[in-house]
Chain A
């Protein structure tokens, strides 16, 4: 006997061609309809798709936007990233809890509201921010949060949540009919490459007039390097992919902007989608791919309709589809793959797993995606910003691009600036710009520390402010979080470790266990129970986790500790104690005996208390 929910789930499978590689889309659709993915539905999906039930259940348990617990019709996800906590996200949380009478992680008894924490949702420039289902609510103070919830309680119908919640649209395309978001772009400094005024299409036309090898050569001459953080030369990646097996190849754009404090892709997707799609098309041409995927993080689902619309316009204009721009033999189209709230999916091999309808587990390398990527075919995964540089390089010439920035780091970089400064937002600056110059631009008043590149980057102090933002000095995927007087770098490092512990996929031990041990020891030091040897322990363990982890998450997760050990060593040293008689200061005998004293009703004989 199947329930109607199970029948509907089967129908959703059919809509997706019963294709198990579309499992993530199927689950998102079923969850949207039923609010939960319970055992019956999981069984039905597994039977229908002809895969073991554990493959379905594993995906459900992996992604934070999916779950087998019943969730409310409105799921409120409050961002608990550092910039949000700095401006009182905890107070907002209290307000929401009191107003709804539930704690975080719970659902109201009437099944209307669920409260959850979210890692960075890409709104650090307008924190505190929350998602109400797909709808972004930026600048959410405690008072406003209470008012909003009180109002929503009066409207049992949630069909058009956006209309109920959004009072004022943001600037630019945020007010587009298909976006209608309260999000602000906060473009503070447009640069020459991506946020400049431009005419679209010239780059693509030029590219199609060249051979793919010539396009790759042009990108190599421009010395374009990947903007996601690692800085791998883009032309080389394309060459490897092109050298892969003949037949279907794939171009994947990584728009899973999950690095806490990063939001520049949000602005690019809102204001420069044509530039991005043009870049993807050129990349597809260069590597010989006819299919492109845009992996859009689940937090940016509010942009999906609009992006689909831009894609369909481009199809109408002959810029996508068969024979792009009338070029016989070059077919290219793009599908949007929505993510479901998992930071690790920003790692390219995990992202590919996710596109294939699997848990977002990283894959072993080799083989590299260029050899065997999406569905086992040669795949190039490129960052949004990287792909946006491509049409501009073709249009303006590699010499022009290489003349921007520094010798080894050409072009401009989009920076997402948030934290303790007056002008939070997106800055496009030439690579090689000194950190101090950016701090002056954004109105940071005597900052004590800056997190460059998000938690996986490094935290630097004033001694490093003269360093340059570029691949070979202060490398960054784009996040700059500024910390002013009174902020505690060690507390921030601890919060970032909590983030990594939450987001670790758990596959390899160094990352799953090591990050927990790092946080324990760091917190022990912060509590005034650390000794000098603990600093060596943190250093050694941090290096082990970096060296032994399987993917980029664990290879960078100790950075909050390692970089504060380097930049803020005196802050650590000030907290250390010197124990007497070889005792470990971290051992809390009183605390360890308290429960036994309560249970036996007597004090300690050996320690006389």
Chain B
């Protein structure tokens, strides 16, 4: 029987959640026995190749490309999980929701202290994805099945959730794994 397939992506996040996944230490050996990885920053597969059992999303959506990737994950993943506070709440990137979009662009491309932009224009390069007017959590864009809170969720949290999902159960995290103070 084929192993379950897992895909992951970091949208508007800091890769901290992915680092936390690597923090499962030697359990990573068990993980590769249990699953096959599809698209994932760790194996550098760029597009999802087929049906996926579990998709893990780090980060919220700050631009059109994030939305595109998230929609692709939703289409291919049986179970989609928001991992970490940015995916769930927007997190630190959502602080820019307090600043008008024009000011964000101007700070990045025109006025920032290290900016060298003789054109004096906000770039229209198609390689730079258009920003959404505000950073939104993933569940506002597509349906999300499970949420793993934490900044980042600890390796134990991720491990507990993954093994539960692989066993076909909804993750039920004990109090110790979701308290932060």
Q: With A605-B126, A606-B64, A607-B68 as known contacts, state yes or no: A595 contacts B143, CB within 8 Å.
A: no
- Per-residue CB contact flags for chain A residues 586-607 toward chain B (1 = under 8 Å, else 0) read 1101011111110111101111
Verify if B48 is at the interface (C-beta below 8 Å from A): no
Contacts of B64 in A (CB 8 A): 589, 593, 604-607
Contact A587/B141 with A596-B133, A600-B124 known, Cβ cut-off 8 Å:
yes
Contact B139 A582 (CB under 8 A): no
List of B residues within 8 angstroms of A605 by Cβ: 64, 126, 129-130
| Complex partner residue of A589 from B67, B75, B102, CB under 8 angstroms | B67
Asked whether A582 and B133 contact (CB < 8 A) given A599-B122, A602-B124, A607-B64, the answer is no
B142/A583 in contact, CB under 8 A: yes
Contact with B along A217-259 (1 / 0, CB 8 A): 0000000000000000000000000000000000000000000
Pairwise interchain contact A602-B126, C-beta atoms closer than 8 A: yes
The smallest C-beta distance from B89 to any residue of chain A, in angstroms, reads 13
Residue of B nearest to A601 (CB): B124
CB distance from B105 to the nearest CB of A (A): 5
Known: A592-B133, A596-B101, A599-B102. A581 touches B75 (CB 8 A): yes
Interface of chain B residues 32 through 76 with chain A (CB within 8 A): 64-65, 67-68, 71, 74-75
Is the Cβ of A583 less than 8 Å from the Cβ of B140? Answer: no
Contacts of B74 in A (CB 8 A): 581-583
* A509 within 8 A of partner (CB): no
Are A606's CB and B67's CB within 8 A?
A: yes
CB distance from A541 to the nearest CB of B (A): 14
Given contacts A592-B133, A593-B130, contact A599 B141 (CB under 8 A): no
Chain B residue contacts of A604, Cβ below 8 A: 64, 130
B133 engages A594 (CB within 8 Å): yes
List A contacts of B123 (CB < 8 A): 600
Cα(A596)–Cα(B128), bound, Å: 11
Say if the beta carbon of B136 comes within 8 Å of chain A: yes
> Once the chains are docked, how many angstroms separate the CA of A586 from the CA of B140?
7
A582, A593, A602: residue with the most chain B Cβ atoms closer than 10 Å: A582
Which residues of the other chain, B, contact A403 by a CB distance below 8 angstroms?
A: none
Tell me the nearest residue of chain A to B142, going by C-beta.
A582
What is the CB-to-nearest-CB distance from B65 to chain A, in angstroms, rounded to a whole number?
6
| Residue picked from A583, A587, A596, A602, most chain B C-beta under 10 Å | A596
* A605 to B67 CA separation, bound complex (whole angstroms): 12
B5 proximal to A (CB < 8 A): no
Contacts of A583 in B (CB 8 A): 71, 74, 141-143
Q: Decide yes or no: A600 and B122 within 8 Å by CB, A587-B141, A606-B129 being known contacts.
A: yes
* One of A582, A584, A595 near B101 (C-beta < 8 A): A595
Instruction: List B contacts of A597 (CB < 8 A).
Output: 130
Q: A599-B105, A600-B124, A605-B126 are in contact. Are A592 and B142 (CB under 8 A)?
A: no
Main secondary structure of the interface of B (DSSP, over half): mixed
Question: Total interface residues on B, using CB and 8 Å?
Answer: 28
Docked CA distance A599–B105 (Å): 8
How distant is A512 from chain B, measured CB to nearest CB, in Å?
17
Q: Is B146 an interface residue (CB 8 A)?
A: no
**B126 and A592 contacting across the interface, CB-CB below 8 Å:** no
Docked Cα-Cα span, A584 to B74, in Å, equals 11
Residues A584 and B122 in contact in the complex (CB < 8 Å), given A596-B101, A596-B133, A606-B67: no
A581 to B72, CA, bound (A): 9
A533 / chain B contacts, CB cutoff of 8 Å: 143
B166 within 8 A of A: no
Task: List residues 116-156 of chain B with CB under 8 A from any CB of chain A.
Answer: 122-124, 126, 128-134, 136, 139-143
* A595 proximity list for chain B (CB < 8 A): 101-102, 133
| Complex CA–CA separation, A596 to B141 (angstroms) | 18
By a CB distance below 8 angstroms, the chain B residues around A582 are: 74-75, 80, 142-143
Q: Provide the residues of chain B in CB contact with A607, threshold 8 Å.
A: 64, 67-68
Q: How far does the alpha carbon of A301 sit from the alpha carbon of B67 in the complex, in Å?
A: 56
**In this complex, what residue of A is CB-closest to B63?**
A596
Residues in A neighbouring B101, C-beta threshold 8 A:
595-596, 599
Residues of chain B lying within 8 A (CB to CB) of residue A592: 132-134, 136
Q: A602-B124, A606-B129 are in contact. Are A584 and B68 (CB under 8 A)?
A: no
* Chain A nearest CB, measured from B64 CB (Å): 5
Q: List 28 A-B contacts (CB under 8 A).
A: A581-B74, A581-B75, A581-B142, A582-B74, A582-B143, A583-B141, A583-B142, A583-B143, A584-B139, A584-B140, A584-B141, A587-B140, A591-B133, A592-B132, A592-B134, A593-B64, A593-B132, A594-B133, A595-B102, A596-B101, A596-B105, A596-B131, A597-B130, A599-B101, A599-B122, A605-B126, A606-B68, A607-B68
Given contacts A583-B141, A596-B131, 17 further A-B contacts (CB under 8 A): A581-B71, A581-B142, A583-B71, A583-B74, A584-B139, A592-B134, A592-B136, A593-B64, A593-B130, A594-B133, A596-B105, A596-B132, A596-B133, A600-B123, A602-B124, A602-B126, A604-B130
